[in-house]
């Protein structure tokens, strides 16, 4: 088999030899250069599979080399080695198109993993992964085109989003997806994964706002049996579950500060330690995060760590609200109706011009999710072929009123009788109480939580656990 060809660029002879030996032992063919000029000369002679360069070189920087390679549209994957603590350089390198970076002093295990990952591109990975936890990871790996096609909309704004996804998918650079609630941030994250060389690895989606604070560390990094009350077996964390794939951190702005520090450390060191374990595990995970908040303002206000923001926000994709791409509405309606009728088995209703006109003049501040809810309800309530959209109770619509409920409600108990399924019965009681509290507080979750003696985080967790669909616009209830 053809051995991969790697170019190492470092002006320190000892380090260069160390890298060379490490790579030779891995079975690669290696060339070495001590300056930008020497590297450029070798690059002119032949094509490599990967280039590993130090940042500081006698006649320039690793960035110069990167930019030169980018301008010549070279196909080599480039890995940049930066001094410890110089996050700016790492971020700069990723922005300039580096595949990945390593922090000096370089950990040789990590070095081998990152180089292998750079070289594996092109040859699809043969890892097959099992779904580690219900609800989080998705086993299917849609083809890149299909994943982009799921993002319906051909407005200039959406075309730009899709173009950017295609461009950024190929590197390891962390991506922050920003946009209002319901604009499709998770779909964007899935498309990035599907277009990347990690597509056949897992995609693990985590809603940072829905996990109780006391469980965050165990959920993210895993826990050994007995490490805390209730840990009856070893369990994987999200990082381990996303190994070789993408970890999608939704609502990253909701992560409490102590957990932000732990996350930063995991990202920087690419190692995690399960609760109760003495051993660090190396993780190879690409991070895509999302927020509907203004994280830069949160940084200013001291609610979000600046260094973490800097790490996560290497590349930013902004998903515009629906009101700024109204022309996408007809195509969106069609795609959403198709999906809804497929899911419910109901016939596809006619979508008249008049209904589209009505939708166009509706504020839809809850974006695509609100549109989806409106159409869901319209399909559920329609009695004929033509679709009628009822806008009146928009804010109340999702909260379990007339919508088909996700779980089956157990019948009320006769006095003195025992429920045959205690958990289902308790869930139903809880759901009814939550829906009532939410209704009575004008769908303000902070207020509903206060009335029930819960924290905002706890009520969110319960709402998510019981699959109570919230109204589209959440902007009024943040504490």
Outline where DSSP puts E strands in 44-148: 50-54, 56-57, 60-61, 77-83, 100-104, 137-138
By the rule CB under 6 A, 379 interacts with ligand ATP: no
Give the nearest distance from C-beta 321 to ligand ATP in angstroms: 10
By the rule CB under 6 A, 181 interacts with ligand ATP: yes
By the rule CB under 6 A, 183 interacts with ligand ATP: yes
Q: Which is nearer to ligand ATP, 179 or 222 (CB)?
A: 179
Please provide the DSSP assignment of 428-475 as one string: HHHHHHHHHHHHHTTT-HHHHHHHTT--HHHHHHHHHHTT-PPPS--G
Q: Which is nearer to ligand ATP, 185 or 235 (CB)?
A: 185
Question: Of the candidates 7, 81, 94, 152, which one interacts with ligand ATP according to CB under 6 A?
Answer: 152
Sheet with 246-250, edge to edge strand ranges = 137-138, 203-207, 246-250, 286-291, 175-178, 315-318
Give the nearest distance from C-beta 358 to ligand ATP in angstroms: 19
Residue with tokens 């706002």: 209
| CA 295 to each of CA 24, 253, 472: distance values in angstroms, whole numbers, following the listed order | 44, 7, 21
By the rule CB under 6 A, 22 interacts with ligand ATP: no
The burial of 395, by beta-carbon neighbours within 10 Å (0-12 exposed, 13-18 middle, 19 or more buried), is given as: middle
By the rule CB under 6 A, 254 interacts with ligand ATP: no
Q: Which of 182, 142, 140 is nearest to 368 (CA)?
A: 182
Question: Of the candidates 97, 142, 184, 201, which one interacts with ligand ATP according to CB under 6 A?
Answer: 184
Give the nearest distance from C-beta 433 to ligand ATP in angstroms: 23
By the rule CB under 6 A, 185 interacts with ligand ATP: yes
**Residue 290 phi, psi dihedral angles, 5° rounding:** -145, 150
Question: Of the candidates 4, 30, 65, 151, which one interacts with ligand ATP according to CB under 6 A?
Answer: 151
Question: Of the candidates 182, 202, 321, 400, which one interacts with ligand ATP according to CB under 6 A?
Answer: 182
Outline where DSSP puts E strands in 312-381: 315-318
324 close to 157: Cβ distance less than 8 angstroms = yes
By the rule CB under 6 A, 187 interacts with ligand ATP: yes
By the rule CB under 6 A, 162 interacts with ligand ATP: no
Q: Which of 42, 103, 92 is nearest to 67 (CA)?
A: 92
Q: Which is nearer to ligand ATP, 93 or 329 (CB)?
A: 329
Number of amino acids touching ligand ATP (CB under 6 A): 19
Question: Of the candidates 162, 178, 235, 369, which one interacts with ligand ATP according to CB under 6 A?
Answer: 369
Helix (H) / strand (E) element for 287: namely strand 286-291
Give the nearest distance from C-beta 367 to ligand ATP in angstroms: 7
The span of 94-102, 300-308, 366-374, 383-391 binding ligand ATP (CB under 6 A) equals 366-374
Centre a 10 Å sphere on the Cβ of residue 227 and count the other Cβ atoms it contains: 17
Please provide the DSSP assignment of 389-434 as one string: ---TTTTTTTSSSSSPPSSPPPPPPPTTPPPSSHHHHHHHHHHHHH
Outline where DSSP puts E strands in 139-277: 175-178, 203-207, 246-250, 271-273
Between CA 26 and CA 110 the distance in angstroms is 13
By the rule CB under 6 A, 372 interacts with ligand ATP: yes
Between CA 111 and CA 23 the distance in angstroms is 9
Q: Which is nearer to ligand ATP, 198 or 376 (CB)?
A: 376
Assigned token pair, 342: 């497929």
Question: Of the candidates 186, 269, 298, 430, which one interacts with ligand ATP according to CB under 6 A?
Answer: 186
Q: Which is nearer to ligand ATP, 368 or 387 (CB)?
A: 368
The span of 65-73, 174-182, 252-260, 456-464 binding ligand ATP (CB under 6 A) equals 174-182
Question: Of the candidates 136, 351, 368, 374, which one interacts with ligand ATP according to CB under 6 A?
Answer: 368
The span of 61-69, 185-193, 432-440, 452-460 binding ligand ATP (CB under 6 A) equals 185-193
Q: Which of 244, 161, 239, 158 is nearest to 206 (CA)?
A: 239
By the rule CB under 6 A, 100 interacts with ligand ATP: no
Alpha-helical regions (H) of 222-352: 238-241, 257-269, 295-300, 306-312, 329-344
The span of 175-183, 238-246, 294-302, 375-383 binding ligand ATP (CB under 6 A) equals 175-183
**Residue 52 phi, psi dihedral angles, 5° rounding:** -115, 120
The span of 178-186, 241-249, 265-273, 446-454 binding ligand ATP (CB under 6 A) equals 178-186
Give the contacts of 117 (CB within 8 A, at least 6 positions apart): 100, 172, 284
Give the nearest distance from C-beta 348 to ligand ATP in angstroms: 16
**Residue 345 phi, psi dihedral angles, 5° rounding:** 75, 10
Q: Which of residues 260-299 bind ligand ATP (CB under 6 A)?
A: 290, 292
Residue number closest to ligand ATP, CB atom: 184
Q: Which of residues 325-354 bind ligand ATP (CB under 6 A)?
A: 332, 335
Q: Which of 91, 88, 53, 92 is nearest to 69 (CA)?
A: 53
Give the nearest distance from C-beta 290 to ligand ATP in angstroms: 6
Q: Which is nearer to ligand ATP, 144 or 179 (CB)?
A: 179
Residues of the shown chain interacting with ligand ATP in the complex, contacts defined by CB under 6 A: 151-153, 179, 181-187, 250, 290, 292, 332, 335, 368-369, 372
């Amino acid at each position: 088999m053809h051995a991969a060809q790697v170019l190492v660029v470092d002006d320190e002879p000892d380090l260069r030899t160390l890298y060379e030996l490490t790579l030779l032992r891995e079975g690669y063919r290696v060339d070495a250069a001590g300056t930008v000029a020497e590297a450029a000369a070798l690059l002119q002679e032949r094509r490599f599979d990967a280039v590993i360069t130090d940042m500081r070189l006698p006649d320039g920087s690793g960035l110069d080399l990167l930019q030169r390679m980018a301008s010549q549209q070279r196909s080599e994957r480039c890995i940049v080695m930066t001094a410890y603590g110089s996050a700016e350089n790492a971020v700069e390198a990723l922005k300039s198109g580096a595949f990945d970076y390593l922090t000096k002093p370089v950990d040789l295990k990590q070095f081998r993993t990152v180089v292998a990952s750079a070289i594996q591109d092109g040859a699809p990975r043969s890892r097959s992964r099992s779904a580690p936890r219900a609800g989080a990871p998705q086993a299917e790996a849609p083809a890149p085109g299909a994943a982009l096609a799921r993002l319906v909309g051909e407005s200039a704004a959406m075309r730009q989003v899709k173009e950017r996804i295609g461009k950024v998918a190929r590197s390891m650079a962390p991506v922050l997806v920003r946009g209002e609630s319901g604009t499709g941030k998770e779909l964007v994250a899935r498309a990035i994964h599907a277009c990347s060389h990690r597509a056949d690895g897992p995609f693990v989606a985590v809603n940072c706002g829905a996990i109780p604070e006391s469980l965050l560390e165990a959920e993210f990094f895993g826990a050994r049996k007995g490490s805390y009350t209730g840990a009856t077996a070893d369990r994987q964390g999200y990082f381990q579950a996303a190994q070789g794939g993408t970890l999608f951190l939704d609502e990253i702005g909701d992560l409490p500060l102590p957990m932000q520090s732990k996350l930063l450390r995991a990202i920087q060191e690419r190692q995690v330690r399960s609760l109760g374990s003495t051993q660090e595990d190396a993780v190879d995970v690409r991070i895509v995060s999302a927020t509907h908040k203004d994280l830069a303002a949160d940084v200013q206000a001291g609610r979000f760590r600046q260094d973490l923001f800097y790490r996560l926000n290497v590349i930013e994709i902004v998903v515009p609200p629906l009101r700024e791409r109204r022309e996408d509405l007809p195509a969106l309606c069609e795609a959403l109706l198709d999906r809804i009728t497929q899911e419910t088995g109901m016939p596809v209703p006619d979508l008249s011009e008049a209904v589209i006109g009505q939708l166009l003049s509706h504020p839809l501040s809850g974006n695509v999710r609100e549109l989806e809810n409106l159409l869901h309800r319209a399909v559920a309530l329609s009695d004929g072929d033509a679709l009628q959209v009822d806008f009146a109770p928009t804010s109340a619509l999702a909260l379990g009123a007339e919508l088909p409920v996700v779980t089956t409600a157990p019948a009320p108990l006769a006095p003195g009788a025992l429920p045959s399924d205690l958990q289902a019965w308790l869930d139903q009681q809880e759901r009814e109480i939550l829906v009532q509290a939410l209704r009575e507080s004008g769908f303000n979750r902070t207020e509903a939580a206060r009335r029930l003696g819960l924290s905002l985080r706890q009520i969110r967790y319960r709402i998510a656990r019981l699959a109570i669909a919230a109204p589209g616009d959440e902007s009024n209830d943040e504490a």
